Amino acid sequence: MSGGDQAANRHTTAPHRPRIIIAALGVTQIFAWGSSYYLPAVLARPIAADTGWPFPWVVGGLSLGLLAAGLVSPRVGRMIERHGGRPVLAASAVLLAAGLVGLALAPGIAAYVAAWLILGLGMGAGLYDAAFATLGRLFGLGARQAIATLTLFGGFASTVCWPLSAFLVAELGWRGTCLTYAAFQLAVALPVHLLLLPRVAPDLSPAAAANAPATATTLPRQAAPILVLLAAALTISSAISAVVSVHLLSFLQAREVAAVTAVALGALVGPSQVGARAIEILVARYHHPVWTKVASTILVALGLAALWGRLPLLSAALVLYGAGIGLESIARGTLPLALFGADGYASLMGRLAMPSLIAQAVAPSVGALLLEAAGTDRTLAVLALMALLNVAFAGTLALMRRT
């Protein structure tokens, strides 16, 4: 970026207090993830035990929510592009609250599933992709650091909300837990979005717009393969992480690791994600985001290959995998911005989110079928091959960027 563009970015972002905005979004992201995506990890078994509903259906509510989030994401991106993120993120808080109230009051499995569909709309309007689009709309080409910092907050979602959810279930039951999270969305997240996010997102300055790369809506024909390759790479990463996050303990126990040890080893993934993101924030100024994506895919491939190959240091394999997934979250937001520019970025993020979220919805079930039919070794082999393919995709993106 030229000195003129940097000056333009400083001029654009200064009135909007980026530190306050990032901190505010960071807190709301922790609880948006904790009260939706990470909710079944703690609540699924208490719900099934209390209601007698089939456990697969209880867990499957999240998959339906992710599917709804994926289908609505393109529209969410277009709305953020036109109106800024403030009204969209505020609406997400209301939708998450409504879905959580629906879960708490659900008399049967049909109402429970319907509540997850509402939660899915809130997830599509309020999780990373919408937050990244909001930051890109606010800060233009200078949003890279803000996006990376936001993922650092998001990395603590399970660390904060899993123990909190467990405490609330013990004290209030699963229905009371859902109502508590709903109250947080209305009493904290909603006013934070309305009061701390700018009312109208600024346009790029003429100088920045003149020097920005081609946008998603006006791509030259030769740039279309880059968009397709980027979408494929992001979708594969989402599918891999969805399968591993659901079935990691099964993978480890199949390696004759005791259940308690498996849980302890699995806990290494979260800190590894946060550590990798912190390092990326420190060194981001020295490289293009495409290299963040390349590093992410290599680390994930190494971690899965080590797990598949039965190498003795399982902890090292999980640290490598966790670091790769941590970098992937940053690349997901910063690479489209660097490749295609700030104009049209929010719409582009919505389009890219759709296949990724659908993959996250479907992949755990596919992984379960594969585990049952082929066993752990072959399932890990498939995941390792997918990760290796993603390394090739990321490397090709790096080469295409140079040309």
pLDDT band at 5 (very low <50, low <70, confident <90, very high): very low
Query: Is 90 exceeded by the pLDDT of residue 4?
Result: no
Write the pLDDT tens digit of every residue in 286-331: 999 999 999 999 999 999 999 898 777 888 999 999 999 999 999 9
Structure confidence at residue 373 (pLDDT): 87
Q: List the single range of 53-57, 146-150, 399-403 with lowest mean pLDDT.
A: 399-403
pLDDT score at 17: 81
- Look up the pTM and report it: 0.85
Look at residue 264 in the predicted model and tell me its pLDDT: 79
Distances (CA, A) of 361 to 70, 155, 246, 347, 387: 9, 20, 11, 22, 19
Q: Is the pLDDT of residue 400 over 90?
A: no
Percent of the chain scoring above 90 in pLDDT? 58
Residue 396 pLDDT grade (very low, low, confident, very high; cuts 50, 70, 90)? very high
Q: What are the C-alpha distances in Å from 187 to residues 126, 164, 192, 324?
A: 16, 18, 9, 35
Domains along the chain with CATH numbers: 3-196 (1.20.1250.20), 213-402 (1.20.1250.20)
CA distances from 364 to 4, 153, 255, 273, 296 (A): 47, 25, 20, 20, 21
The tens digit of pLDDT for each residue in 279-289 reads 999 998 899 99
- pLDDT tens-digit profile of 360-383? 999 888 888 888 888 888 999 999
Report, as an integer, the average pLDDT of 233-262.
85
How many Cα neighbours within 13 Å face the side chain of 74?
A: 7
- Residue 214 has a pLDDT of 44
pLDDT bucket at 266, cuts 50 / 70 / 90: confident
Average pLDDT of span 192-217: 59
Orientation angle between helical segments 224-254 and 345-402, nearest 10 degrees: 90
Nearest in space to 299 (alpha carbons), one of 390, 236, 402: 390
Residue 219 has pLDDT above 80, yes or no: no
Place of tokens 């346009």: 203
pLDDT at 367: 87
- Mean pLDDT, residues 9-24 taken together: 66
Instruction: Report which of 272, 22, 20 is spatially closest to residue 132, judged by C-alpha positions.
Output: 22
pLDDT at residue number 322: 92
* Dist CA 173 CA 186 (whole Å): 20
Q: What pLDDT is attached to residue 236?
A: 96
Provide the Cα torsion 170, 247, 125, 282; round to 10°.
Answer: 100
- Work out the mean pLDDT of the chain and round it to a whole number: 86
Q: What is the pLDDT of residue 220?
A: 59
pLDDT given for residue 191 in this prediction: 96
pLDDT of residue 186 exceeding 70 = yes
Helix/strand/coil for 18? helix
What's the pLDDT tens digit per position in 19-34? Answer: 899 999 999 999 999 9
**Amino acid 258: pLDDT:** 77
Say what the pLDDT of residue 201 is.
45
Percent above pLDDT 70 for the chain: 90
DSSP letters spanning 352-402: HHHHHHHHHHHHHHHHHHHHHHHHHHHHHHHHHHHHHHHHHHHHHHHHHHH
Asked whether 161 and 184 are in contact (CB, 8 A), the reply is no
State pLDDT tens for residues 68-121.
Answer: 999 999 999 999 998 889 999 999 999 999 999 999 999 999 999 999 999 999
